[in-house]
Amino acid sequence: MTIIEFLRRRRSADGPVFVDLTSDYGFKAIFGNEQNKDVLLDLLRQLVTDEKIAEIEYIDKDRRGLGRDAKSCTFDVYCKTGDGKRIIIEMQHNSQKFFLSRSIFYSTFAVQDQLRRGTRDYDFAPVYMISFVREGINEFEGSTDFVTRVNLYAEGGKRLVARNLNYIYIELNKFRKTEDELSEDDDLDGMIYSIKHMSRLAEIPRKLRKPMFHRLYEASRFAAMGAVEQYKYIRLMTTKRDIRAQMDYKYEQGMEKKAIEAARVLLDEGIDDSVIIKCTGLTAEQVEKLKPEYLSLEQTIQEEDIKVMTTKRDIMAQMDYQYEQGMEKGKMDEKIGIAKAMLDEGMDDSVIAKLTGLPVEQISELKRK
């Protein structure tokens, strides 16, 4: 649909009540908009609790690397306080490898902005790197906290080394409070709930009737956007759904590839087709097609072109991560499935261990189950 077609249909089209603040475009459209500076201030005052923020000024979000071949970046929101503190805010929808490293890299630009050539003074105002992540962060997998604050401490964690580097990570998947569980006295919970669920709401929740939330919800109304902004938002949300479907496909590809690899090993050992089908979940036709070629190392996985309006590097990193997740999960599931099937066939534990790579102790545990 072109923008002209969108404008013609706009009057009768039913758009969402509120924009999706977990989307890249929605988040930037609201919190990165100069007209919504008070809304961004409300958010920062809930997250940067060790500082009193009275005012902010938006800064250019595009940052170039120092060298010709150095990596550059574009922030979702970049601002500074009245006393010079720098604050970077990012909304990351999907899991991504090396996300913590990426956030540290981003923070270095806010340090460089404050240091000038020809000076030996390396003191700089505090930098806050605030990262929202919808799907969670691997390094924090064992924690139930939805807000994690990271600083530089000496070994042992008892002495703070640097007060001017601050990292705040908000994992939206770990925030599980319902609307009924919200408290009128906990503005942080109300803010996180709103960011996570706003696109599915039709009105402001009853317990969030304070002025700060009224400002947030009014600014986030889809109808408050101009026609061009509405068009961009609709297009990008459609693209996001397409990308999600493609990443799910990559995950399934990883699972299927591990099943095929397992089937080739079993064929090489002369295992019966019926056992292979039971162990891997492949169809008889799939197993049959592997027979003339199972010694070949070639494995082709067709990659579809993805037309997105975000950076190609980020999308590919997310796809690779989903693919590897599928590979790892498929590898363990297939090993256990093969072992169970072989136990049913009465095969010796040592043979099963050799074929699956599982330890004998784990095979013994499967027998007991």
Q: What is the mean pLDDT of each run of 10 residues along the chain (369 residues)?
A: 50 69 89 93 93 91 73 89 94 80 91 79 90 89 92 87 92 94 94 94 92 94 78 67 54 73 82 85 82 48 44 65 69 78 82 82 79
Three-class secondary structure of residue 130 per DSSP = strand
Beta strand segments in 156-256, E: 160-171
**The predicted structure's pLDDT at residue 281:** 83
**C-beta separation of 47 from 168 below 8 A:** yes
Quote the CA–CA distance of 349 and 347 in Å, as a whole number: 7
Phi-psi domain of 112 (left: phi exceeds 0; alpha: psi -120 through 50; beta: other): alpha
Quote the CA–CA distance of 44 and 38 in Å, as a whole number: 10
Quote the CA–CA distance of 80 and 315 in Å, as a whole number: 29
Can you tell me which residue has the tokens 């006393």?
83
Can you tell me which residue has the tokens 């758009």?
15
**C-beta separation of 106 from 90 below 8 A:** yes
pTM for the structure as a whole = 0.62
How far is Cα of residue 182 from the mean position of the Cα atoms in its chain? 25
Nearest to 320 by CA among 250, 368, 220: 250
Pairing of strands 73-74, 62-63: antiparallel
Quote the CA–CA distance of 254 and 301 in Å, as a whole number: 9
CB neighbourhood size of 9 (10 A): 10
Phi–psi pair at 127, nearest 5 degrees: -115, 135
* Amino acid (1-letter code) at residue 5: E
Tokens of 304: 């579809």
156 burial level (CB within 10 Å; 0-12, 13-18, 19+): exposed
How far is Cα of residue 26 from the mean position of the Cα atoms in its chain? 16
Beta strand segments in 143-217, E: 147-153, 160-171
**C-beta separation of 111 from 152 below 8 A:** no
**The predicted structure's pLDDT at residue 59:** 92
- 302-335 CB burial, b ≥16 within 10 A, e <16: eeeeeeeebeeebbebbbebbbebbbeebbebbb
Tokens of 322: 């989903």
**The predicted structure's pLDDT at residue 174:** 94
Nearest to 240 by CA among 141, 309, 319, 298: 309
**In whole angstroms, how far apart are CA 272 and each of 83, 210, 293, 328?**
73, 68, 17, 26
**The predicted structure's pLDDT at residue 248:** 56
Can you tell me which residue has the tokens 């009465």?
346
